[in-house]
Copies of this chain bind each other. A is one copy, B any other.
């Protein structure tokens, strides 16, 4: 893949890592970064993450062959629809948001002819934020989900998949609602659980935590505003996922109350099997 100009709207951890990977892998001849603070963009340019920083997404979109919007999920659709009218025909717009259904459903009916949007979600990230944590290998061997709907243009889908593969990622195509249902369980629910566990910790016991508590709650350090937006966009599926977990915790509670250690052991054996299969 050889892109003349790639524009990244939102140069944080994900956007910065896309820029770094695109430059280091020779995927794009020129990488434009769009942000809200020139000083932050200048630092990203100095760090080799982007070639040039612009405050106006429209100026960047006019020049770009591919635009990746890496802003919080509650602003992605708005950003895409703001730049789509100025994009040259054939421009590919995509994103990196953790939710897909609402974003795709908002964008697709409002897109001008000749400009394509394909939803993306790279399953990579960190509780850390900001371009200073950008990592050119962030997507290496990770999975990126690329969404397809009845309105998705096949060539745009193919180009989006090629783009993520060129960044080192594996690609899986899913429908937006199927994505949101699965990620509600595999990503959004763990965040809720980690936050509930950390938040309920009585203050005096912080000293008495060890690696188990720290691993289990690590992602609770993520940005609250970003996660509130994710929960808001995907609340119905998160409620379903939470229901699955609460059912399981209720079974644990029954085992503890009844002293049914054989049944509790069975639950732990089954959980270990699942966890072992995921690898480290």
Across-interface contacts of A195 in B (CB, < 8 A): 252, 267-268, 271-272
Query: Looking at chain A's contact residues, is the secondary structure mostly helix, strand, loop, or mixed?
Result: helix
Asked if A109 is at the interface of the complex by the 8 Å CB criterion, the answer is: no
Q: Among B124, B183, B197, B228, which residue has its beta carbon within 8 angstroms of that of A268?
A: B228
Report the minimum CB–CB distance from A79 to chain B (whole Å).
Answer: 20
Q: Which residue of B lies closest to A123 (CB)?
A: B210
Asked if A278 is at the interface of the complex by the 8 Å CB criterion, the answer is: yes
Which one of A12-20, A39-47, A58-66, A200-208 contacts B? A200-208
Nearest 9 pairs between A and B by C-beta?
A199-B271, A224-B268, A195-B271, A123-B210, A190-B216, A196-B248, A220-B275, A228-B265, A198-B271
Q: Bound complex: CA of A235 vs CA of B187, how far in Å?
A: 29
Q: Bound complex: CA of A183 vs CA of B208, how far in Å?
A: 7
A231 engages B219 (CB within 8 Å)? no
Q: Bound complex: CA of A237 vs CA of B269, how far in Å?
A: 22
Chain A interface residues (CB < 8 Å from chain B): 123-126, 142-143, 145, 172, 182-183, 185-187, 189-202, 204-225, 227-228, 231-232, 235, 238-239, 242, 244-249, 252-253, 255-257, 259, 261, 264-265, 267-272, 274-278, 280
Q: With A182-B205, A185-B202, A193-B197 known to touch, is A272 a contact of B235 (CB < 8 Å)?
A: no
Report the minimum CB–CB distance from A128 to chain B (whole Å).
Answer: 10
Q: Bound complex: CA of A210 vs CA of B124, how far in Å?
A: 7
Q: With A198-B275, A199-B271, A199-B274 known to touch, is A193 a contact of B205 (CB < 8 Å)?
A: no
Most chain B beta-carbon contacts within 10 A, residue among A191, A212, A227: A212
B256 engages A199 (CB within 8 Å)? no
A143 engages B216 (CB within 8 Å)? no
Q: Which residue of B lies closest to A184 (CB)?
A: B205
A222 engages B272 (CB within 8 Å)? yes
Q: With A221-B276, A275-B198 known to touch, is A228 a contact of B186 (CB < 8 Å)?
A: no
Q: Among B221, B245, B256, B259, which residue has its beta carbon within 8 angstroms of that of A238?
A: B256
Across-interface contacts of A256 in B (CB, < 8 A): 231, 235, 238-239, 242
Q: Which residue of B lies closest to A190 (CB)?
A: B216
Q: Which residue of B lies closest to A209 (CB)?
A: B186
Q: Among B126, B196, B212, which residue has its beta carbon within 8 angstroms of that of A271?
A: B196
Across-interface contacts of A123 in B (CB, < 8 A): 208-210
